[in-house]
Amino acid sequence: MVRNSQKTVYVGMSGGVDSSVTAALLKQQGYNVVGVYMKNWSQDLPGLPCPWKDDYQDAKRVAVQLDIPFKMYDFETQYRQKVVDYMIAEYQAGRTPNPDIMCNQEVKFKLFLETALEDGADMIATGHYARVRDGQLWTAANKDKDQTYFLYRVSESALKRSLMPIGDFVTKDEVRVMAKELGLATAEKKDSQGICFVGKVGIRDFLSQYVTAKPGAIKERSGVTIGEHDGAIFYTIGQRHGLNVGGGLPYYVIGKDMDKNEVYVTTNIDDENLWKGELQLTDVHWINEVPDMTKSYQVRTRYRAPLVEGTLQVAGSSKSDATYSAPTLHIALSDKIRAITPGQSAVIYDGERVIGGGIVV
């Protein structure tokens, strides 16, 4: 059996407390730990400076405190191509993508993993709240912080080379207590917000730098125009705020037409376009084996949304030794779910194990 001291782990250190404690834990467990800061984005936006230099320095300070080697990988070109361009294209098509899921699939658990292995690593580690066992993905002990929703597209082979040690912590306070006890520079640092790696920037502010949005009509289901939007690209199903439509009952977005540049709304909270009892998924990914389609599973349609029971049915599936593709996966839900949004992900669980998921059509 290979002892931890004979394994080299490259830890993705973002400059936050979670990845800092991850590196500290693995060093305590006897691994040869190398810290790596992934430089994925450095562009400042008007009034919104990118925090990458501060994050890099924070990660470096912790590496010095832990007395571990520290490196920086520059993935900015690939991140722009794989994550940012994807996100912009999806919004332009009228869908609502999740860039964090694509970042995990293409950057952290593909590009970072491949680069680290070529550089001498045996494994990689991240500060995700999730648990990995024998190439399987399990929910974190801390259910409030569980991040498996963002990790469902990671491959089994990548998980077999990955460690996520803080997934065993029951509370975030435990993580911060350990950081304080070790005197880590990031112990009091607030959790990052905003788009993956870009910093504290809202999606509207970010998209405004790359797309030209035109005003258009906001219409009720009857077809009556009741207001004007500043770009259909910025609106998503179920949205209530930011419509700037007159007083009275609140309006909710129930659809949009990108060709006509129109946004459709209703005051009916029970509108059939807001509540769906079934899902159609494309670009389906199974982490391990193809699931038993006769069983019932649990489905999550957005981060921290409650799990809903569902049954699966694959149409037009095909399987080979290396891949499994399902052009369309139909899920019948036990309860209707509000604001199911095209472009978002639905993640499928079998108890505490994540089996896969896909993109909402």
Annotation marks residue 196 as catalytic? yes
Q: Which residues contact 81 (CB under 8 A, 6 or more apart)?
A: none
Query: Is there a contact between 86 and 101 (Cβ–Cβ < 8 Å)?
Result: no
Q: Give the per-residue SS3 of 174-207.
A: HHHHHHHHCCCCCCCCCCCCCECCCECCCHHHHH
User: What share of residues in the chain are helix, strand, coil (percent, to 5)?
Assistant: 25, 30, 45
Single out the residue of 22, 311, 317, 289 nearest to residue 162, CA to CA: 22
Long-range contacts at 299-307 (CB < 8 A, ≥ 24 apart):
299/331, 299/333, 299/346, 299/347, 299/348, 299/349, 300/149, 300/346, 300/347, 300/349, 301/337, 301/340, 301/344, 301/345, 301/346, 301/360, 302/149, 302/341, 302/344, 303/149, 303/150, 304/149, 305/337, 307/349
Residue 128 CA to residue 19 CA, distance in Å, equals 8
Q: Which helix (H) or strand (E) holds 66?
A: helix 52-66
* Active-site residue, from 25, 154, 196, 354: 196
Q: Among the options 21, 23, 62, 103, which is catalytic?
A: 103
- Number of Cβ within a 10 Å radius of residue 171: 12
103 a catalytic residue: yes
Residues with catalytic function: 103, 196
